[in-house]
Amino acid sequence: MKSLSLLLAIFILPSLASAKGKVWQQNFKIEFDNKKMKHTYSLLEKKGKIPTYVLQWKDKGKIKRSQKIRDWQASQLLAKVRRLQWQSLYRNPASMDKCTPYIKVSTLKKVATICLEKKRLAGRSEALLYHLSHYFD
Amino acid sequence: MRIGLIVAISISFLFSSSSFAATCQLCAFEIPDFAKEMGSSDICSDLFGAACKDVKGREKLKGQLDAMTDEGKNAVDQARDAAAQKLGFKNADEGALETLKKAGFNVRTDKPIDFVKDLYQESDPAEMNRIFSEAKDCSEDVVNLGKDNFEMTTTDTLQLQSYYQKADAVLQKQREVYKKFLAKDVEFFFNESVVGVCSQLVEGGKQRFPKEQNSKAYEVCNNLKKIESEAIQLYRKEGTPEYDQLAKAFVDRYHVQKLQVAKKEDMPANQKLVADIEFTKGFLGFLCNKLNGALKNSSQKLVQNYYEKLAKSKPVVESLIDNTYSPERHQLLKAMATSAKSHLKSIVSENFKDQSLAKKITNSYDNVEFLWMSKPAAHMYKKEGGLDVLDEYKVPVNSETTAFFNQDLDYFSEMNAVYKTSDSVGLQKNPNRVALNPAMIRMSDFNPFTVYFVLSHEMGHHMSPGIASVNGMDTRKELSGLFKCLSGRDSVRLTPKQWSEATADYFAAEVLAKELAMMPQEKRKSALKASMEFLCLANQDADGQLHQLFCREAHPANPFRASGIVGANPRLRKTIGCDGESPNYKGCAINPDNKFTGAADPKQPKTEKPAVEDEGAVH
């Protein structure tokens, strides 16, 4: 049980902490930061008997809009984000000479930086950003 | 020495001003019908109402933005169909359908277009019943189990056992189906299923989920890190011949069927059976939901890969470029971009108080390019599954060609334009550049006036404080009076976040003042109304079709932009023949005292004749 707790802490503790305190837990965060803008999209979850999900859009750290979404929307969005993240983290070439950051994708315990040089991923990221932005139309 | 210096400066102005001379780009074009019609307001008091609304106050161009973006979407669809045909499919959607069937999905819809759209968007998992036989079977099993004429209060143990076995068999059957689709995506399986179960285990604790009854779950969760490493290794094998078998074994090994809750020891046997039956029935419904999620995820992943491949394929790339980037349009728009730049240089020279900054800006405009997409060279393609596709490592970074790596090809249907600052990626250097999206380029066929306005707006961004600073120029002091004026309650109440866009609108208005001054007087008002078409279209864009992904709220509202910044511009008003200031908005300008009356201005070279002064000369 000792090792269980230790290992699970890496994966699950953030969600446990939020479950106890009924505070918002961040399931994913996508940061787009160029010379002009700094936009962040986050999926937040409030645990409970019926969990609540909110997709939040921030501009330069300030909340611009928050959109309540359904559990299946949250789950499908999270799956899309993780797919992008795994693709970036585990299918990149061993080394890249240069990385011009396009977006940064964070889930509970992992952070992936998508580089413009990886055009396939950058294209996927762009599609995802468009998709997320339409939640705030 | 002093005289020599003055002479040198004058020569420099002389040369620079002569290089700013622009010929009329818009004179030859017909005014679009909507701009000839009466509007809801007089152009001199409310440009937006005059251009965008009819006499009854209704939007003149209602629905037209959708039609224009649909034209782009149709071009995308046709290009995809051509690529799918190369792969032997009837069209792109049928190709998606066949791809899924080949991968083992039982597709039951006969409407491929709806089906693909459903799969790409987030959708209620219950919708999967309509699309996949597996989802429908599962929900039917739930219904059938509920239909059985069975009394939970029965004391007949054999009957209870028989019923439990039946329910459990159904559950086992559906669990195998679920596992089949989990194995199609180990990343999803690990994050959704394995980590999901372990989260429940930790949250419930061993009191709720005793170790004896949940030995596999505890074993899996104790080895989470190791399982994750295994999942990653397996994930890297995706697409290889051995993947399917390995993935199935992986899911079999680590899939935890369900967490068993502690049972009350003193519960009579029949009551335990009843509890088990209830749990199994409930769990089947839960499993069907999970199955729907797995179907959605794994099918979406396949569809995404398929459409990504089509998007970057040679038939799509060449078809979309041919569709828009014709030599005739290139010639027209390049000339317009040059004209707008030329006017902007004059405007800066004539109005900036800091003439050394003005010179720096006018010189730097030579490095702002008008971007035009051309077909990628043959060496940028590689073979992939029967198609020539763009090689991501050979296409230049930050070129417009990267738009082909977005499976939705959004760039080709959106009505937009951009200014991009110079950047350097590896050995590749990109200059400052202005680009029009294909939908905007096509718009030049029927309304070059509004495309000219948009081009001037983008070119004007070169002087927006943020962009100028990236280019080593500080325009804040020169523009501070303009921003202060536009921020007032008698103007458009500009916020600091809107400075950049307001700068671009302001300079576009100044460019129009110069360009329209070269047109016959009687044509100028309708030409100005025509140039507002983009703002009319974008204003009625209630459902967000206009792409403002990274710049929402950075633009003032369109009536403010049209009537408050453009329509109230003093020099433009004078050009089109409006008397005095706008009754609704204060006239804001840089160097507002520069009235261009033709009186000798010691700051201006005598050879420079402001366009407004040229009105008479044109006729």
Residue with tokens 């600052």: B421
Decide if pLDDT at B458 tops 90: yes
Average pLDDT, chain A: 80
Rounded Cα distance, B105 and B177, in Å: 11
Question: Residue B24: CB partners within 8 Å, gap ≥ 6?
Answer: B515, B518, B519, B618
Residue in B202, B286, B381, B543 to test binding to A, most A beta-carbons within 10 Å: B202
ipTM for the whole predicted complex goes beyond 0.95? no
Rounded Cα distance, B459 and B478, in Å: 17
pLDDT bin (cut points 50, 70, 90) of residue B422 is: confident
In this predicted structure, what is the pLDDT of residue B14? 34
B293 touches chain A (CB under 8 A): yes
Count of positions (residues) in chain A: 137
Residues A78-93, mean pLDDT to the nearest whole number: 88
Cα distances from A19 to residues A11, A22, A47, in angstroms, run 14, 5, 5
Question: Residue B297: CB partners within 8 Å, gap ≥ 6?
Answer: A76, A79, B185, B188, B192
Write the pLDDT tens digit of every residue in B48-71. 999 999 999 888 888 888 888 899
Name which CATH class applies to B17-71+326-372+386-618: alpha beta
User: Residue A77 phi/psi, 5° resolution?
Assistant: -65, -45
Taking contacts as CB-CB distances below 8 angstroms, the residues of chain A near B236 are 90-91
According to the 3-state scheme, what is the secondary structure of B322-381?
Answer: HHHCCHHHHHHHHHHHHHHHHHHHHHHHHHCCCHHHHHHHHHHHHHEEECCCCCCCHHHE
Bridge partners (DSSP) of residue A66 are A56
Cβ pair B202:A19 closer than 8 A: no
A71 touches chain B (CB under 8 A): no
Q: What is the DSSP letter of B577?
A: T
Q: Is this prediction's pTM over 0.90?
A: no
Cβ pair A136:B552 closer than 8 A: yes
Taking contacts as CB-CB distances below 8 angstroms, the residues of chain B near A94 are none
Is residue B236 within 8 Å of residue B230, measured between CB atoms? no
Average pLDDT, chain B: 85
Cβ pair B225:A7 closer than 8 A: yes
Rounded Cα distance, B481 and B463, in Å: 15
In this predicted structure, what is the pLDDT of residue B254? 96
Query: In chain A, what are the domain boundaries?
Result: 2-136
pLDDT bin (cut points 50, 70, 90) of residue B426 is: low
User: Residue A129 phi/psi, 5° resolution?
Assistant: -65, -45
Is residue B24 within 8 Å of residue B519, measured between CB atoms? yes
B467 touches chain A (CB under 8 A): yes
Mind telling me how many Å the CA of A98 is from chain B's nearest CA? 7
> Judging by beta carbons within 10 Å of its beta carbon (0-12, 13-18, 19+), is residue B356 exposed, middle or buried?
exposed
User: Whose CA is closest to B112, among B97, B126, B131?
Assistant: B97
In this predicted structure, what is the pLDDT of residue B613? 23
Rounded Cα distance, B414 and B71, in Å: 10
Q: Indicate the SS3 state at residue B11.
A: helix
Write the pLDDT tens digit of every residue in B248-266. 999 999 999 777 777 666 7
In this predicted structure, what is the pLDDT of residue A56? 94
Residues B520-538, mean pLDDT to the nearest whole number: 94
Decide if pLDDT at B539 tops 90: no
Decide if pLDDT at B370 tops 80: yes
Taking contacts as CB-CB distances below 8 angstroms, the residues of chain A near B408 are 127, 130
In this predicted structure, what is the pLDDT of residue B8? 32
Residues B543-552, mean pLDDT to the nearest whole number: 38
Decide if pLDDT at B617 tops 80: no
What percent of chain B shows pLDDT beyond 90?
A: 59
According to the 3-state scheme, what is the secondary structure of B39-75?
Answer: CCCCCCCCHHHHHHECCCCCECCCCHHHHHHHHHHHH
User: Whose CA is closest to B587, among B504, B517, B488?
Assistant: B488
Residues of chain B with CATH 3.40.390.10: 17-71+326-372+386-618
Cβ pair B467:A1 closer than 8 A: no
In this predicted structure, what is the pLDDT of residue B538? 77
Cβ pair B407:A123 closer than 8 A: yes
B335 or B23, which is more confident? B335
Decide if pLDDT at B479 tops 70: yes
Decide if pLDDT at B80 tops 80: yes
pLDDT bin (cut points 50, 70, 90) of residue B540 is: very low
Find the range with the poorest average confidence among B239-243, B437-441, B493-497, B572-576. Answer: B493-497
Cβ pair A117:B223 closer than 8 A: no
Cβ pair A11:B195 closer than 8 A: yes
Mind telling me how many Å the CA of B463 is from chain A's nearest CA? 14
Rounded Cα distance, B474 and B464, in Å: 9
Decide if pLDDT at B611 tops 80: no
Cβ pair B405:A124 closer than 8 A: yes
In this predicted structure, what is the pLDDT of residue B263? 67
Decide if pLDDT at A120 tops 90: no
Write the pLDDT tens digit of every residue in B301-318. 999 999 999 999 999 999
Interface A–B counts its CB contacts (< 8 A) at 144
Rounded Cα distance, B388 and B408, in Å: 19
Decide if pLDDT at B156 tops 90: no
B191 touches chain A (CB under 8 A): yes
Torsion angle (degrees, nearest 10) of CA A105, B390, B77, B319: 140
